[in-house]
Chain A
Amino acid sequence: MNTRWQIWLALVLLAAVIAAALYFPALRQQVDKAKQLTEKTAEQARRELLPPAPVASGDPRVRAKMFWGSREQDGKLSPVTVELPLSSDPALRAKQVLNTLLAGPVDPESRTLPPDAALLAFYLLPDGTAVADFSEAIGTSIPSGIQSEQLAVDSIARTLEANIPQAQRLKILIHGQEADTLAGHLDLTQTFPVNTKLLSLAAPATGQAQTSNTGSVAATP
C-alpha cells in the first residue's frame, strides 16, 4: 500500500469517527425516548391487566364527596360532590371512590394524584385500617415536594372519610410493599388518620396514625 492510499484510508477513518461522534448524542436521545416509551407501555399493560372498577349494575347511584385540589387556595383541598353507582360493601365502595379520585376532576389542574397511577388492591381490616395498594406511578409520577405529596395523601384520606365511615386510618402500599416515602418526602411507614372522631374512641392496633394540617379543606361548594 503506497502513501497515497494510506492518506485516503486515514481520511475515510477520520470522516467515520467525526460522523459517529455527531450521530452518537442523537442515537442516545433516541434510546432514552425508547426506554421511556417502554416504561410507559409496561405501566399501561399493568393497568390493563387490572380488573375493572367493580361497578355492579344493581348499585344505586348516590352522591359521593371527592377531595381534589383547590383552584382558589394554594395547597388546599376542595370537596366536589359527584353522583356515582356505589356498592353498599365498604371495601368495594372504597375501590369505586378511589378509582374516581384517580380518574381526576374535570379540571386537570386540580388533580392530586398522577393520571397514570392505578389502585391495585384495597382492603378494609376489622380494626378499621384501610389498606390501599397503588402502582409505582403514584410515587414516580407525582410532582416532587412535601406540599404535593401531603395533598395527595390528604385527598385519599379525606375522600375515604367522607364516603367510608368504617375506615379509621389509612395505610398506603406501593405495588404490595411498604415504602419508606411516597416520593422522597412523606413518611409512608405509618398510618394516616381517616376518621379522627372514631380514632379518638379506638386506639390503633398496629402502628401510629400521624396527623397533618396541610391539606385542610378550602371551601364547600
Chain B
Amino acid sequence: MTIRKQNLQLIFSFVLLSALTLILAWRVSPQTPSGTSVGTPIGTPVGAPAPPPVPQATASTNLNVVVLDPAHGGTDLGARGTEGIRESEVVLQFATQVRRALEAQGFQVVQTREGNENPSFDDRSARANAVRGAVFISLHVASTGLAGTARVYTMPDLPSANDGTGLIVWDRAQAPFTSLSHKLGDLVQAELARRFKGSPTEAQVAPVRQLRTTAAPAIAVEISSVSVADRASLDRMIPGVADAIARAVTAFKPSYVVPVIAPAAAGVHP
C-alpha cells in the first residue's frame, strides 16, 4: 500500500511537471501572426483616468500641451517588417525621444499610451479634447514608402462643426482646427524635409481616422519604413524626427489661438 502511494505521488509530480513544462514551451514558442498571445498590457490604461492638470492658457498664445500618440499597441502591432520590426514598438521609441525634445522646449507632454496597450481612437482623441490649448501628434511607421523619408498628414477640410449649441460635434471635432493643422503640418514637414532627403516639402491631406475626432491642431507623422533590412537605420532617424517636431511646434506656438465656436442659435460668443 505504501509503495503504491509513493508511485502515485511520483506520477502526480511528473504530470504536474509535464503541465508546467508544456505551458512554458507554449509561451516561449513563436507568436501567432494575429498576435493574440500578447501578454498582459503594461503601463497606465488610457481613457478612464482624467487627463493631467493643464496650465492656464494666455490670451494670445494657448499652446502649452502636446499630446503625443504612438499609434497601435496591444494586440494591434501595426505594420510589421520582414526583419521582425513592429510599428507598435518603434513608435514608442520615437515618442520617448520626441517627448524629451519637446520638454526641453518647455512644453508639457501627454502620451496616449506609454506601454503596450491599445486605447481606442476616441480615447486617444479624448486626451487632447479634454485639454484647452493642445496640439496632437500621431506617430506612425509605414510598411511602404522610400526608406529614410517622413511624411506629415492632416485632415481635409470638414463641414462646420457648429451644431447651434456652441459645442463641438465629436465626429467632426477636427473641423474648426483644419487650417491650424495644415499650418502645423507644413512646419513639421518642412523641418523633416531638411533632415530626410526625399521627403515631401509640404504636408499632405488624407482622411486619417485618428485625426477626425481630435479637437486640436492635429497631424500624423509617418516614417518609412518597417521594411528596412536593418533596424538601426530606423533608429538613426529618431533624433532627427524628434528635433524636427520640437522646432516646428515651437515655431507654431505664437500663431496658435484656440478657435471660438459660437452658438449659432443664441448668436452669443461664449
Contacts and interface: CB of A to CB of B under 8 A. Distances in A.
Nearest to B158: A208
Interface string A1-39: 100001001100110110011001100110010011000
A52 to B, nearest CB: 31
B96 interface: no
B243 to A, nearest CB: 22
B149 interface: yes
Contacts of A190: 207
A24 B22 contact: yes
Contacts of A21: 21-22, 24-25
B176 to A, nearest CB: 15
Interface in A152-176: none
Interface in A166-221: 180-181, 184-187, 189-190, 192, 208, 210-214
Given A28-B26, A74-B146, A214 B6 contact: no
A19 to B, nearest CB: 10
A147 B209 contact: no
B143 A148 contact: yes
A101 B2 CA distance: 77
B206 A146 contact: yes
Contacts of A54: none
A145 B22 contact: no
**Of listed A16, A146, A213, residue having the most chain B CB within 10 A:** A146
A75 interface: yes
A213 B17 CA distance: 61
- Range of interface residues on chain A? 35 or more
A14 B206 CA distance: 60
Interface string A79-113: 00000000000000000000000000000000000
B20 to A, nearest CB: 9
A32 B205 contact: no
B143 A13 contact: no
Given A1-B7, A146-B140, A185-B209, A213 B29 contact: no
A144 interface: yes
B11 to A, nearest CB: 7
Nearest to A14: B14
Interface stretch (B71-79, B99-107, B123-131, B256-264): B71-79
A72 B153 CA distance: 22
A150 interface: yes
Interface in B16-33: 17-18, 21-22, 24-26, 28-30, 32-33
B158 A17 contact: no
Contacts of B144: 75, 143, 145, 147-148
A190 B175 CA distance: 14
B31 to A, nearest CB: 9
Contacts of B38: none
